[in-house]
Amino acid sequence: MNLEEVRKKVLSKKGGWFFLYPLFFILSKLFCFFARFRYELYKGGILKTITPAVPVISVGNIVAGGTGKTPLVEYIYTMLQDVGFTPAVVMRGYGGKEKGPVVAEDEPERFGDEAALYVKKGFFVVVSRDRLAGIDFAVSKGANVVVLDDGFQQLGIKPTVNVVVVDPFNPFGGNMCLPLGTLREPVDALERADCFVISRANFASFEKVNSLEIYLKTFRKQVFKGEQCFKYWIDRTFRKVEPPEKEITVFCGIGSPQQFLQQLKEEGFKVIKSFLFPDHHFYTAEEIKTLSKYPNLVTTEKDLVKVKDYDIDVKVPVLGVEVFGLKEFILNRIKNVEKHEEKNEKESFVPDGVSVSQSVERRIFKES
């Protein structure tokens, strides 16, 4: 039983789980307290925030689990590449063994499923537990802009643009921090965002998206709406194929499996049976053997990189996302930073042997 299953049972207050509710409530309050206390340490200058020498686009959230962040990272990376930048994705590599900093390869066991997926798509990816070291490493390898995956809680790094992804189906994790809710920090942490992207807006009702947009605008930041769709389908060898028959069997190990199932239904598929595994799950040969008994198997891109070496007949929808206005917002931010840096370069120089992060002024993090 994983944490999410335990959390749901505690929230139900049924049977013996009722007695765990007060404990989870206290733990959630403590989690929020320490998250806020950590932020105050940075805000007060006790802990320092460093501004890297290259533009950094942070893509993150305040809710644990899937919010639609991965396709947005892909969207931003591709956009930056298309306009002439040499981008790199810097990430922790959840589920992988590498501590880094190291250039990721198509090996999910070492680098994590998300990193392996990005690599499979031709992205330059650096995995590093220390994200600042990862940025320095990426720059040393030729990157001139960084997409910081899951960077909102990285208070030691001041990004050029702080993009926060908000899921309209579960925007604020039950308004409780972990473990009773799914918030990673209090909702007022959204003050740090530069803009918001409401993910999967085309799958939520107008009323739901509109009320969320109105609330997010109270933070006085730009709000964008992301539309998500299936671009095409691929098989285990990553070749384009025809979509499966309408009656399908689904398996996946992602943060928001219910959203994936719902999107399949919106596309006209009937899910006969579903196997839902924990997020970042690595499949065993026995599990693959069991799954192979079912017809018309469908899974996610993130899961495909972990089953591609097994003999399993499976089809996968490739997600595409469009966020109108976000491209211009990010490029304008980068342009403004570059103008500021050009002015500073006339007044100072970088000594030999100093890293790109050390060469810039260490500035105390301030709320936007």
Per-residue pLDDT reduced to its tens digit, 297-317: 999 999 999 999 999 999 999
Per-residue pLDDT reduced to its tens digit, 99-112: 999 999 999 999 99
Provide the domain count of the chain.
2
Residue 82 sits in a domain whose CATH number is 3.40.50.300
Residue 78 belongs to some domain of the structure: yes
Terminal C-alpha separation, the chain: 40
- At 12 the pLDDT is 86
Residue 54 belongs to some domain of the structure: yes
CA distances for 187 relative to 50, 62, 82, 173, 242, angstroms: 24, 7, 34, 9, 43
Residue 159 belongs to some domain of the structure: yes
Instruction: Please indicate if the annotation marks 66 as binding a ligand.
Output: yes
Between CA 76 and CA 78 the distance in angstroms is: 5
Residue 16 belongs to some domain of the structure: no
Between CA 267 and CA 261 the distance in angstroms is: 10
Mean pLDDT across the chain = 92
Per-residue pLDDT reduced to its tens digit, 191-241: 999 999 999 999 999 999 999 999 999 999 999 999 999 999 999 999 999
- At 66 the pLDDT is 83
If asked whether residues 308 and 336 sit together in one domain, one would say no
- Of residues 62 and 9, the one with the higher pLDDT is 62
If asked whether residues 218 and 328 sit together in one domain, one would say yes
Q: Which pLDDT band, with edges at 50, 70 and 90, does 62 fall under? A: very high
Residue 7 belongs to some domain of the structure: no
If asked whether residues 74 and 216 sit together in one domain, one would say yes
If asked whether residues 204 and 327 sit together in one domain, one would say yes
If asked whether residues 114 and 217 sit together in one domain, one would say yes
Residue 15 belongs to some domain of the structure: no
Per-residue pLDDT reduced to its tens digit, 149-176: 999 999 999 999 999 999 999 999 999 9
If asked whether residues 189 and 335 sit together in one domain, one would say yes
Instruction: Please indicate if the annotation marks 68 as binding a ligand.
Output: yes
Q: Which of 120, 49, 41 is nearest to 303 (CA)?
A: 120
Mean pLDDT value across residues 330-344: 81
Between CA 305 and CA 283 the distance in angstroms is: 11
- Of residues 12 and 354, the one with the higher pLDDT is 12
Instruction: Please indicate if the annotation marks 67 as binding a ligand.
Output: yes
Angle separating helix axes 326-345 and 69-82, nearest 10 degrees = 60
Buried residues in 146-170 as b, exposed as e (16+ CB within 10 A): bbbbbbbbbbebbbbbbbbbbbbbb
Q: What is the pTM of this model?
A: 0.90
If asked whether residues 215 and 265 sit together in one domain, one would say no
Between CA 197 and CA 325 the distance in angstroms is: 10
Q: Which pLDDT band, with edges at 50, 70 and 90, does 77 fall under? A: very high
Scanning the chain, the segments in alpha helix (DSSP H) are: 3-12, 21-43, 69-82, 108-111, 113-120, 131-140, 206-216, 257-266, 285-291, 301-307, 326-345
Instruction: Please indicate if the annotation marks 182 as binding a ligand.
Output: no
Q: Find the domain containing 258 and state its range.
A: 229-321
- At 342 the pLDDT is 66
Cβ pair 189, 91 in contact under 8 A: no
Q: Which pLDDT band, with edges at 50, 70 and 90, does 343 fall under? A: low
- Amino acid of residue 309: D
Between CA 92 and CA 132 the distance in angstroms is: 11
Q: Which pLDDT band, with edges at 50, 70 and 90, does 360 fall under? A: very low
- At 366 the pLDDT is 35
Q: Which residue has the tokens 């403004």?
A: 336
Between CA 284 and CA 309 the distance in angstroms is: 12
Residue 261 belongs to some domain of the structure: yes
Instruction: Please indicate if the annotation marks 122 as binding a ligand.
Output: no
Residue 160 belongs to some domain of the structure: yes
Instruction: Please indicate if the annotation marks 64 as binding a ligand.
Output: yes
If asked whether residues 235 and 329 sit together in one domain, one would say no
Between CA 196 and CA 23 the distance in angstroms is: 33
Run of H or E including 320: strand 314-323
If asked whether residues 202 and 341 sit together in one domain, one would say yes
CA 318 to chain CA centroid, Å, is 17
Q: Helix, strand or coil for residue 127?
A: strand
If asked whether residues 210 and 265 sit together in one domain, one would say no
Q: Which residue has the tokens 């990376």?
A: 77
- At 361 the pLDDT is 37
If asked whether residues 257 and 143 sit together in one domain, one would say no
DSSP notation for 266-307: HTT-EEEEEEE--TTPPPPHHHHHHHTTSSSEE--HHHHHHH
Between CA 366 and CA 243 the distance in angstroms is: 49
Q: Is the pLDDT of residue 349 over 60?
A: no
If asked whether residues 245 and 285 sit together in one domain, one would say yes
Between CA 200 and CA 209 the distance in angstroms is: 10
Between CA 59 and CA 66 the distance in angstroms is: 13
Q: Is the pLDDT of residue 20 over 50?
A: yes
Share of the chain above pLDDT 70, in %: 92
- At 368 the pLDDT is 34
Residues in the chain: 368
Question: Would the CA dihedral through 285, 289, 290, 294 be positive or negative?
Answer: positive
- Of residues 227 and 3, the one with the higher pLDDT is 227
Instruction: Please indicate if the annotation marks 63 as binding a ligand.
Output: yes
Instruction: Please indicate if the annotation marks 249 as binding a ligand.
Output: no
Q: Which pLDDT band, with edges at 50, 70 and 90, does 341 fall under? A: low
Q: Which pLDDT band, with edges at 50, 70 and 90, does 363 fall under? A: very low
